[in-house]
Chain A
Amino acid sequence: MTTTVAELVASHPLLVGLPGDAVAEVAGCARNVAFAPEELLFVEGGPADTLYLVRRGRVAIEVHAPERGPIVIETVGPGGTVGWSWLVPPYRWQFDARAIGPVGAIAVDAACLRAKADADDALGHKLVSRVAAVLLERLQATRIRLLDLYGTHSDR
Protein backbone atom coordinates (compact mmCIF):
# COMPACT_ATOMS: atom_id res chain seq x y z
CA MET A 1 0.00 0.00 0.00
CA THR A 2 1.35 3.40 -0.92
CA THR A 3 1.51 6.04 1.75
CA THR A 4 0.61 9.50 0.53
CA VAL A 5 2.53 12.63 1.35
CA ALA A 6 -0.53 13.84 3.25
CA GLU A 7 -0.45 10.72 5.42
CA LEU A 8 3.25 11.17 6.08
CA VAL A 9 2.73 14.81 6.99
CA ALA A 10 -0.19 13.94 9.26
CA SER A 11 1.82 11.35 11.15
CA HIS A 12 4.92 13.45 11.74
CA PRO A 13 5.24 14.52 15.42
CA LEU A 14 5.42 18.22 14.45
CA LEU A 15 1.98 18.09 12.88
CA VAL A 16 0.26 15.05 14.33
CA GLY A 17 -3.21 15.89 15.58
CA LEU A 18 -3.72 18.89 13.32
CA PRO A 19 -7.14 19.10 11.64
CA GLY A 20 -7.36 17.47 8.23
CA ASP A 21 -7.67 20.74 6.36
CA ALA A 22 -4.50 22.08 7.97
CA VAL A 23 -2.66 18.89 7.12
CA ALA A 24 -3.88 19.16 3.54
CA GLU A 25 -2.55 22.70 3.27
CA VAL A 26 0.89 21.63 4.50
CA ALA A 27 0.87 18.53 2.33
CA GLY A 28 0.17 20.74 -0.66
CA CYS A 29 3.60 22.29 -0.13
CA ALA A 30 5.38 19.02 0.63
CA ARG A 31 7.20 16.27 -1.18
CA ASN A 32 8.97 13.10 -0.16
CA VAL A 33 12.77 13.29 -0.41
CA ALA A 34 15.78 11.08 0.29
CA PHE A 35 19.41 11.87 0.96
CA ALA A 36 22.44 9.63 0.61
CA PRO A 37 24.97 9.33 3.42
CA GLU A 38 27.10 12.48 3.70
CA GLU A 39 24.81 14.38 1.34
CA LEU A 40 24.16 17.97 2.40
CA LEU A 41 20.55 19.02 2.94
CA PHE A 42 21.64 22.64 2.95
CA VAL A 43 24.69 24.78 3.52
CA GLU A 44 25.38 27.87 5.59
CA GLY A 45 24.54 31.05 3.73
CA GLY A 46 22.29 29.37 1.20
CA PRO A 47 18.64 30.27 0.71
CA ALA A 48 16.54 28.84 3.54
CA ASP A 49 13.68 27.57 1.48
CA THR A 50 12.67 24.26 3.05
CA LEU A 51 11.43 22.74 6.29
CA TYR A 52 12.53 19.13 6.61
CA LEU A 53 10.45 16.67 8.61
CA VAL A 54 12.78 13.75 9.25
CA ARG A 55 11.20 10.33 8.81
CA ARG A 56 14.22 8.03 8.75
CA GLY A 57 17.90 8.34 9.53
CA ARG A 58 19.79 11.11 11.22
CA VAL A 59 20.85 14.58 10.21
CA ALA A 60 23.82 16.45 11.66
CA ILE A 61 23.57 20.20 12.13
CA GLU A 62 27.09 21.43 11.62
CA VAL A 63 29.24 24.50 11.51
CA HIS A 64 32.75 24.50 10.14
CA ALA A 65 35.79 26.24 11.51
CA PRO A 66 39.29 26.77 10.17
CA GLU A 67 41.64 23.93 11.07
CA ARG A 68 38.82 22.09 12.82
CA GLY A 69 36.59 21.17 9.94
CA PRO A 70 32.92 20.50 10.52
CA ILE A 71 31.73 20.61 14.12
CA VAL A 72 28.50 18.78 14.87
CA ILE A 73 26.26 20.97 17.02
CA GLU A 74 23.34 18.61 17.21
CA THR A 75 21.87 15.59 15.50
CA VAL A 76 18.22 15.20 14.62
CA GLY A 77 16.61 11.80 14.25
CA PRO A 78 13.31 10.31 13.09
CA GLY A 79 10.37 12.47 14.09
CA GLY A 80 12.57 15.54 14.37
CA THR A 81 12.59 18.68 12.29
CA VAL A 82 15.49 20.35 10.50
CA GLY A 83 15.65 23.94 9.36
CA TRP A 84 14.16 27.03 10.98
CA SER A 85 15.83 29.86 9.13
CA TRP A 86 13.01 29.92 6.58
CA LEU A 87 10.81 31.40 9.30
CA VAL A 88 12.28 34.88 9.36
CA PRO A 89 14.09 37.13 6.91
CA PRO A 90 16.63 37.10 5.37
CA TYR A 91 15.81 33.39 4.93
CA ARG A 92 19.41 32.22 4.88
CA TRP A 93 20.71 29.03 6.51
CA GLN A 94 22.91 29.65 9.53
CA PHE A 95 24.43 26.17 9.62
CA ASP A 96 25.07 23.16 7.41
CA ALA A 97 22.89 20.08 7.58
CA ARG A 98 24.35 16.73 6.52
CA ALA A 99 22.85 13.26 6.29
CA ILE A 100 24.82 10.96 8.60
CA GLY A 101 23.42 7.89 6.87
CA PRO A 102 20.52 7.33 4.50
CA VAL A 103 17.85 9.90 5.35
CA GLY A 104 14.21 10.01 4.40
CA ALA A 105 12.29 13.23 4.97
CA ILE A 106 9.32 15.31 3.98
CA ALA A 107 10.52 18.54 2.39
CA VAL A 108 8.05 21.38 2.86
CA ASP A 109 8.45 24.35 0.53
CA ALA A 110 8.91 27.30 2.85
CA ALA A 111 7.64 30.04 0.56
CA CYS A 112 4.51 28.01 -0.13
CA LEU A 113 3.97 27.40 3.57
CA ARG A 114 4.53 31.05 4.50
CA ALA A 115 2.07 32.18 1.84
CA LYS A 116 -0.62 29.84 3.14
CA ALA A 117 0.01 30.86 6.73
CA ASP A 118 -0.17 34.54 5.76
CA ALA A 119 -3.46 33.96 3.96
CA ASP A 120 -5.06 31.96 6.76
CA ASP A 121 -4.46 33.30 10.27
CA ALA A 122 -5.88 30.19 11.93
CA LEU A 123 -3.55 27.93 9.97
CA GLY A 124 -0.65 30.26 10.65
CA HIS A 125 -1.35 30.22 14.38
CA LYS A 126 -1.53 26.43 14.47
CA LEU A 127 1.75 26.08 12.61
CA VAL A 128 3.59 28.70 14.63
CA SER A 129 2.37 27.12 17.87
CA ARG A 130 3.76 23.75 16.84
CA VAL A 131 7.02 25.24 15.67
CA ALA A 132 7.36 27.30 18.85
CA ALA A 133 6.98 24.20 21.02
CA VAL A 134 9.84 22.48 19.22
CA LEU A 135 11.99 25.61 19.28
CA LEU A 136 11.37 26.03 23.01
CA GLU A 137 12.44 22.50 23.78
CA ARG A 138 15.54 22.91 21.62
CA LEU A 139 16.38 26.19 23.34
CA GLN A 140 15.96 24.72 26.80
CA ALA A 141 18.08 21.69 25.91
CA THR A 142 20.75 23.98 24.50
CA ARG A 143 20.77 25.99 27.71
CA ILE A 144 21.26 22.83 29.73
CA ARG A 145 24.13 21.78 27.48
CA LEU A 146 25.77 25.18 28.00
CA LEU A 147 26.09 24.29 31.68
CA ASP A 148 28.55 21.52 30.81
CA LEU A 149 26.89 19.33 33.43
CA TYR A 150 29.21 16.42 32.89
CA GLY A 151 32.35 18.54 33.08
CA THR A 152 35.11 18.18 35.61
CA HIS A 153 33.15 19.88 38.37
CA SER A 154 30.63 17.07 38.33
CA ASP A 155 31.10 13.89 40.32
CA ARG A 156 28.46 11.97 38.43
Chain B
Amino acid sequence: MIAEGRTAVAATREVAPATGSVGGTAAAVPVPYQVVGRRDETVDVATLFLVPAAGGPMAFLPGQFNMLTAFGVGEAAISVSSSRREDGPLQHTVRAVGPVTEALCRSGAGDVIGVRGPFGTAWGVDGAATGTGDVVVVAGGIGLAPLRGAIDELVHRPIAGGGRVFVIAGAREPGQIIYDNDLQMWERDGAVVAVTVDMGSPGWSGHVGLVTSLLDEAGFDPATSSALICGPEIMIRFTARALVNRGIDPERIRVSLERNMQCGIGWCGHCQLGPFLLCRDGPILPYAGAVSQLLCERER
Protein backbone atom coordinates (compact mmCIF):
# COMPACT_ATOMS: atom_id res chain seq x y z
CA MET B 1 0.00 0.00 0.00
CA ILE B 2 0.98 3.59 0.24
CA ALA B 3 4.40 4.02 1.70
CA GLU B 4 4.29 7.74 1.95
CA GLY B 5 2.03 10.67 1.48
CA ARG B 6 1.53 11.49 -2.12
CA THR B 7 -0.85 14.30 -2.77
CA ALA B 8 -1.84 13.02 -6.09
CA VAL B 9 -1.27 10.98 -8.96
CA ALA B 10 -1.38 12.10 -12.44
CA ALA B 11 -0.09 11.78 -15.83
CA THR B 12 -1.41 10.93 -19.21
CA ARG B 13 -0.49 8.43 -21.73
CA GLU B 14 -1.10 10.70 -24.67
CA VAL B 15 1.95 12.83 -23.98
CA ALA B 16 5.32 11.59 -22.92
CA PRO B 17 6.77 12.95 -19.71
CA ALA B 18 8.14 16.34 -20.50
CA THR B 19 11.44 16.21 -18.74
CA GLY B 20 11.39 12.94 -16.90
CA SER B 21 13.29 11.32 -19.74
CA VAL B 22 12.30 7.85 -18.69
CA GLY B 23 15.38 5.79 -18.15
CA GLY B 24 17.56 8.87 -18.19
CA THR B 25 19.25 10.85 -15.50
CA ALA B 26 16.28 13.01 -14.54
CA ALA B 27 14.23 9.89 -13.94
CA ALA B 28 16.74 8.12 -11.74
CA VAL B 29 18.66 10.76 -9.85
CA PRO B 30 17.10 13.46 -7.69
CA VAL B 31 17.90 16.94 -8.95
CA PRO B 32 18.48 19.55 -6.25
CA TYR B 33 15.74 22.15 -5.95
CA GLN B 34 15.74 25.02 -3.51
CA VAL B 35 12.69 25.82 -1.47
CA VAL B 36 12.02 29.50 -2.10
CA GLY B 37 8.73 29.69 -0.27
CA ARG B 38 6.04 27.75 1.51
CA ARG B 39 2.41 28.34 2.31
CA ASP B 40 0.54 26.56 5.06
CA GLU B 41 -2.74 25.39 3.57
CA THR B 42 -4.03 23.69 6.74
CA VAL B 43 -2.49 22.47 9.97
CA ASP B 44 -0.92 19.49 8.21
CA VAL B 45 -0.79 20.56 4.57
CA ALA B 46 1.77 22.90 3.06
CA THR B 47 2.57 24.06 -0.45
CA LEU B 48 6.26 24.21 -1.30
CA PHE B 49 7.59 26.57 -3.94
CA LEU B 50 10.69 25.18 -5.64
CA VAL B 51 13.27 26.37 -8.14
CA PRO B 52 16.02 24.21 -9.62
CA ALA B 53 19.46 24.80 -8.24
CA ALA B 54 20.66 24.75 -11.84
CA GLY B 55 18.92 24.81 -15.20
CA GLY B 56 15.55 25.99 -16.37
CA PRO B 57 12.03 25.38 -15.16
CA MET B 58 10.50 21.93 -15.37
CA ALA B 59 7.99 21.26 -18.13
CA PHE B 60 5.06 19.18 -16.91
CA LEU B 61 1.50 18.24 -17.71
CA PRO B 62 -1.38 18.84 -15.29
CA GLY B 63 -1.68 15.77 -13.16
CA GLN B 64 1.87 14.47 -13.43
CA PHE B 65 3.85 13.81 -10.29
CA ASN B 66 7.40 14.10 -9.06
CA MET B 67 9.33 12.02 -6.60
CA LEU B 68 10.44 14.44 -3.90
CA THR B 69 13.38 13.58 -1.70
CA ALA B 70 13.83 14.78 1.82
CA PHE B 71 17.53 14.09 2.01
CA GLY B 72 18.42 11.70 4.77
CA VAL B 73 14.81 10.68 5.25
CA GLY B 74 13.39 9.30 2.02
CA GLU B 75 11.37 9.89 -1.08
CA ALA B 76 7.67 10.35 -1.74
CA ALA B 77 5.53 10.77 -4.83
CA ILE B 78 3.89 14.19 -4.87
CA SER B 79 1.78 15.61 -7.67
CA VAL B 80 2.71 18.86 -9.29
CA SER B 81 0.15 21.42 -8.19
CA SER B 82 1.37 24.31 -10.30
CA SER B 83 -0.67 25.66 -13.17
CA ARG B 84 1.08 26.01 -16.50
CA ARG B 85 -0.49 29.45 -16.69
CA GLU B 86 1.67 30.57 -13.79
CA ASP B 87 5.22 31.72 -14.06
CA GLY B 88 7.44 31.14 -11.14
CA PRO B 89 8.44 28.33 -8.85
CA LEU B 90 7.26 24.76 -9.18
CA GLN B 91 4.55 24.01 -6.64
CA HIS B 92 3.83 20.85 -4.70
CA THR B 93 1.21 20.57 -2.00
CA VAL B 94 2.15 18.02 0.62
CA ARG B 95 0.22 16.52 3.48
CA ALA B 96 2.26 15.35 6.45
CA VAL B 97 1.29 11.73 6.94
CA GLY B 98 4.66 10.02 7.45
CA PRO B 99 8.34 10.68 8.05
CA VAL B 100 9.13 11.82 4.50
CA THR B 101 6.13 14.07 4.03
CA GLU B 102 6.56 15.45 7.53
CA ALA B 103 10.13 16.36 6.64
CA LEU B 104 9.01 17.91 3.37
CA CYS B 105 6.30 19.88 5.13
CA ARG B 106 8.87 21.22 7.57
CA SER B 107 10.98 22.55 4.70
CA GLY B 108 11.41 26.27 4.58
CA ALA B 109 13.02 28.90 2.39
CA GLY B 110 16.61 28.02 1.66
CA ASP B 111 16.26 24.30 2.21
CA VAL B 112 17.16 21.94 -0.62
CA ILE B 113 15.12 18.92 -1.61
CA GLY B 114 15.52 16.43 -4.43
CA VAL B 115 13.17 16.21 -7.38
CA ARG B 116 12.80 13.38 -9.91
CA GLY B 117 10.28 13.60 -12.68
CA PRO B 118 7.77 14.49 -13.91
CA PHE B 119 6.22 11.06 -14.21
CA GLY B 120 3.01 9.46 -15.32
CA THR B 121 -0.04 10.37 -17.28
CA ALA B 122 -1.96 13.64 -17.26
CA TRP B 123 -5.58 14.71 -17.05
CA GLY B 124 -5.75 15.48 -20.75
CA VAL B 125 -7.20 18.95 -20.42
CA ASP B 126 -5.88 19.96 -23.82
CA GLY B 127 -9.06 18.58 -25.28
CA ALA B 128 -8.44 14.91 -25.85
CA ALA B 129 -10.15 13.88 -22.66
CA THR B 130 -12.41 16.78 -21.80
CA GLY B 131 -13.77 17.80 -25.20
CA THR B 132 -15.83 20.94 -25.54
CA GLY B 133 -18.74 20.05 -23.26
CA ASP B 134 -19.13 20.54 -19.53
CA VAL B 135 -16.32 19.29 -17.31
CA VAL B 136 -17.17 18.12 -13.82
CA VAL B 137 -14.18 18.09 -11.48
CA VAL B 138 -14.71 16.31 -8.18
CA ALA B 139 -11.98 16.47 -5.55
CA GLY B 140 -11.84 14.99 -2.08
CA GLY B 141 -9.50 16.35 0.56
CA ILE B 142 -6.02 17.02 -0.72
CA GLY B 143 -7.10 15.41 -3.98
CA LEU B 144 -7.68 18.96 -5.13
CA ALA B 145 -3.91 19.43 -5.39
CA PRO B 146 -3.33 17.21 -8.45
CA LEU B 147 -6.32 18.85 -10.08
CA ARG B 148 -5.30 22.45 -9.46
CA GLY B 149 -3.35 22.92 -12.68
CA ALA B 150 -6.01 21.15 -14.73
CA ILE B 151 -8.83 23.25 -13.28
CA ASP B 152 -6.92 26.44 -13.84
CA GLU B 153 -6.43 25.60 -17.51
CA LEU B 154 -10.01 24.43 -17.98
CA VAL B 155 -11.46 27.56 -16.42
CA HIS B 156 -9.37 29.81 -18.62
CA ARG B 157 -9.47 27.82 -21.86
CA PRO B 158 -11.21 29.19 -24.93
CA ILE B 159 -14.59 27.49 -24.89
CA ALA B 160 -15.52 26.45 -28.41
CA GLY B 161 -18.47 24.28 -27.48
CA GLY B 162 -19.86 26.35 -24.65
CA GLY B 163 -18.74 23.88 -22.03
CA ARG B 164 -18.71 24.96 -18.42
CA VAL B 165 -16.47 23.91 -15.58
CA PHE B 166 -17.94 22.57 -12.35
CA VAL B 167 -15.62 22.21 -9.38
CA ILE B 168 -17.01 20.18 -6.50
CA ALA B 169 -14.64 19.86 -3.59
CA GLY B 170 -15.08 17.96 -0.36
CA ALA B 171 -13.15 18.27 2.86
CA ARG B 172 -13.33 16.82 6.33
CA GLU B 173 -14.11 20.16 7.95
CA PRO B 174 -13.92 23.83 7.01
CA GLY B 175 -10.37 24.17 8.33
CA GLN B 176 -9.21 21.44 5.97
CA ILE B 177 -10.25 23.20 2.78
CA ILE B 178 -7.22 23.98 0.67
CA TYR B 179 -6.77 26.57 -2.09
CA ASP B 180 -9.47 28.87 -0.83
CA ASN B 181 -8.14 31.73 -2.95
CA ASP B 182 -8.07 29.55 -6.07
CA LEU B 183 -11.63 28.36 -5.49
CA GLN B 184 -12.78 31.95 -5.26
CA MET B 185 -10.80 32.93 -8.35
CA TRP B 186 -12.19 30.05 -10.43
CA GLU B 187 -15.71 31.00 -9.42
CA ARG B 188 -15.03 34.63 -10.26
CA ASP B 189 -13.72 33.53 -13.65
CA GLY B 190 -16.85 31.59 -14.53
CA ALA B 191 -16.62 28.15 -12.96
CA VAL B 192 -19.42 26.75 -10.84
CA VAL B 193 -17.69 26.05 -7.54
CA ALA B 194 -19.22 24.15 -4.64
CA VAL B 195 -17.47 23.08 -1.48
CA THR B 196 -18.85 20.69 1.07
CA VAL B 197 -17.54 19.36 4.36
CA ASP B 198 -18.21 16.17 6.26
CA MET B 199 -18.45 18.05 9.52
CA GLY B 200 -19.50 21.63 9.91
CA SER B 201 -18.15 23.93 12.56
CA PRO B 202 -19.40 27.05 14.29
CA GLY B 203 -19.66 29.81 11.74
CA TRP B 204 -19.74 27.48 8.73
CA SER B 205 -22.82 28.22 6.65
CA GLY B 206 -21.85 26.21 3.59
CA HIS B 207 -22.71 22.72 2.49
CA VAL B 208 -22.44 19.71 4.78
CA GLY B 209 -22.45 16.28 3.16
CA LEU B 210 -20.63 14.05 0.74
CA VAL B 211 -19.48 15.49 -2.58
CA THR B 212 -22.09 13.42 -4.39
CA SER B 213 -24.84 15.33 -2.59
CA LEU B 214 -23.96 18.34 -4.73
CA LEU B 215 -24.12 16.60 -8.11
CA ASP B 216 -27.85 16.99 -8.69
CA GLU B 217 -27.95 20.70 -8.09
CA ALA B 218 -24.70 21.49 -9.89
CA GLY B 219 -26.44 21.90 -13.23
CA PHE B 220 -24.08 20.13 -15.65
CA ASP B 221 -25.37 18.42 -18.77
CA PRO B 222 -24.57 14.70 -18.39
CA ALA B 223 -24.91 14.08 -22.11
CA THR B 224 -21.97 16.33 -22.94
CA SER B 225 -20.01 16.14 -19.71
CA SER B 226 -16.68 14.64 -18.93
CA ALA B 227 -15.39 14.23 -15.40
CA LEU B 228 -12.13 14.25 -13.50
CA ILE B 229 -12.03 12.71 -10.02
CA CYS B 230 -9.27 12.68 -7.43
CA GLY B 231 -9.38 11.84 -3.75
CA PRO B 232 -9.48 8.81 -1.47
CA GLU B 233 -10.12 5.73 -3.58
CA ILE B 234 -13.44 4.91 -1.92
CA MET B 235 -14.63 8.42 -2.67
CA ILE B 236 -13.44 8.04 -6.26
CA ARG B 237 -15.42 4.93 -7.01
CA PHE B 238 -18.51 6.13 -5.15
CA THR B 239 -18.39 9.39 -7.08
CA ALA B 240 -17.70 7.72 -10.42
CA ARG B 241 -20.73 5.46 -9.98
CA ALA B 242 -22.87 8.44 -8.99
CA LEU B 243 -21.80 10.29 -12.15
CA VAL B 244 -22.50 7.26 -14.33
CA ASN B 245 -25.92 6.90 -12.68
CA ARG B 246 -26.62 10.49 -13.66
CA GLY B 247 -25.80 9.81 -17.29
CA ILE B 248 -22.13 10.62 -17.79
CA ASP B 249 -20.42 8.18 -20.15
CA PRO B 250 -17.84 6.11 -18.19
CA GLU B 251 -15.47 6.58 -21.13
CA ARG B 252 -15.42 10.29 -20.33
CA ILE B 253 -14.58 9.88 -16.65
CA ARG B 254 -10.94 9.98 -15.60
CA VAL B 255 -9.76 9.01 -12.17
CA SER B 256 -6.48 9.38 -10.34
CA LEU B 257 -5.23 6.20 -8.74
CA GLU B 258 -2.21 5.48 -6.66
CA ARG B 259 -0.35 2.67 -5.08
CA ASN B 260 3.17 2.57 -3.77
CA MET B 261 5.01 4.67 -6.32
CA GLN B 262 8.74 4.19 -6.02
CA CYS B 263 10.80 4.14 -9.21
CA GLY B 264 8.40 6.32 -11.18
CA ILE B 265 9.24 4.68 -14.49
CA GLY B 266 7.56 1.30 -14.39
CA TRP B 267 10.59 -0.76 -13.46
CA CYS B 268 10.16 -1.81 -9.86
CA GLY B 269 6.51 -2.95 -9.98
CA HIS B 270 5.57 -1.70 -6.53
CA CYS B 271 2.68 0.31 -7.90
CA GLN B 272 1.06 -2.48 -9.89
CA LEU B 273 -2.71 -2.53 -10.05
CA GLY B 274 -3.88 -5.41 -12.23
CA PRO B 275 -2.36 -4.85 -15.66
CA PHE B 276 -1.30 -1.31 -14.82
CA LEU B 277 1.91 0.07 -13.39
CA LEU B 278 0.39 3.22 -12.02
CA CYS B 279 3.56 5.30 -12.04
CA ARG B 280 3.79 4.76 -15.78
CA ASP B 281 0.30 3.83 -17.05
CA GLY B 282 -1.40 6.05 -14.49
CA PRO B 283 -1.91 7.63 -12.18
CA ILE B 284 -4.69 9.08 -14.31
CA LEU B 285 -6.73 6.47 -16.10
CA PRO B 286 -10.10 6.22 -17.78
CA TYR B 287 -12.70 4.89 -15.37
CA ALA B 288 -14.41 2.75 -18.00
CA GLY B 289 -13.53 -0.89 -18.47
CA ALA B 290 -10.73 -2.47 -16.49
CA VAL B 291 -10.36 0.31 -13.96
CA SER B 292 -13.99 0.26 -12.85
CA GLN B 293 -13.63 -3.49 -12.29
CA LEU B 294 -10.27 -3.25 -10.54
CA LEU B 295 -11.61 -0.68 -8.10
CA CYS B 296 -14.12 -3.24 -6.87
CA GLU B 297 -11.60 -6.01 -6.38
CA ARG B 298 -10.06 -6.78 -3.04
CA GLU B 299 -6.30 -6.66 -2.88
CA ARG B 300 -4.67 -9.97 -2.06
Which of B97, B232, B234 is the most central at the interface, judged by chain A CB atoms within 10 Å of its CB? B232
Asked whether A150 and B101 contact (CB < 8 A) given A80-B216, A156-B141, the answer is no
A74 to chain B, nearest CB (A): 5
Asked whether A71 and B200 contact (CB < 8 A) given A77-B217, A80-B217, the answer is yes
CA distance A80 to B172 in the complex (A): 22
A149 and B213: CB pair below 8 A?
A: no
CA distance A112 to B200 in the complex (A): 35
Interface size on A, residues (CB 8 A): 30
Decide if A21 is an interface residue (CB 8 Å cutoff).
Answer: no
A148 and B198: CB pair below 8 A?
A: yes
Which of B2, B95, B101, B235 contacts A144, CB < 8 Å?
B235
CA distance A76 to B217 in the complex (A): 10
A156 and B142: CB pair below 8 A?
A: yes
A141 and B212: CB pair below 8 A?
A: yes
- Which residues of chain A in 27-82 are interfacial with respect to chain B, using CB atoms and an 8 Å cutoff? 58, 60, 69, 71-80
Decide if B5 is an interface residue (CB 8 Å cutoff).
Answer: yes
Residue interface bits B124-159, CB-to-A below 8 A is 1, else 0: 000000000000000011110100000000000000
Decide if B205 is an interface residue (CB 8 Å cutoff).
Answer: yes
CA distance A155 to B212 in the complex (A): 21
Cβ contacts A to B, 13 pairs, < 8 Å: A77-B217, A137-B242, A144-B238, A148-B198, A149-B235, A150-B141, A155-B6, A155-B101, A155-B142, A156-B7, A156-B8, A156-B141, A156-B232
- Which residues of chain A in 109-156 are interfacial with respect to chain B, using CB atoms and an 8 Å cutoff? 137, 140-141, 144-145, 147-156
CA distance A60 to B209 in the complex (A): 10
- Which residues of chain A in 68-99 are interfacial with respect to chain B, using CB atoms and an 8 Å cutoff? 69, 71-80
Chain B, interface residues (CB within 8 Å), range: 35 or more
Which of A73, A76, A79, A149 contacts B234, CB < 8 Å?
A149
Task: Name A residues whose Cβ lies closer than 8 Å to a Cβ of B.
Answer: 13, 58, 60, 69, 71-80, 100, 137, 140-141, 144-145, 147-156
B171 and A141: CB pair below 8 A?
A: no
B213 and A74: CB pair below 8 A?
A: yes
A155 and B208: CB pair below 8 A?
A: no
A83 to chain B, nearest CB (A): 16
Closest residue on chain B to residue A74 by CB atoms: B209
Decide if B75 is an interface residue (CB 8 Å cutoff).
Answer: no
B233 to chain A, nearest CB (A): 9
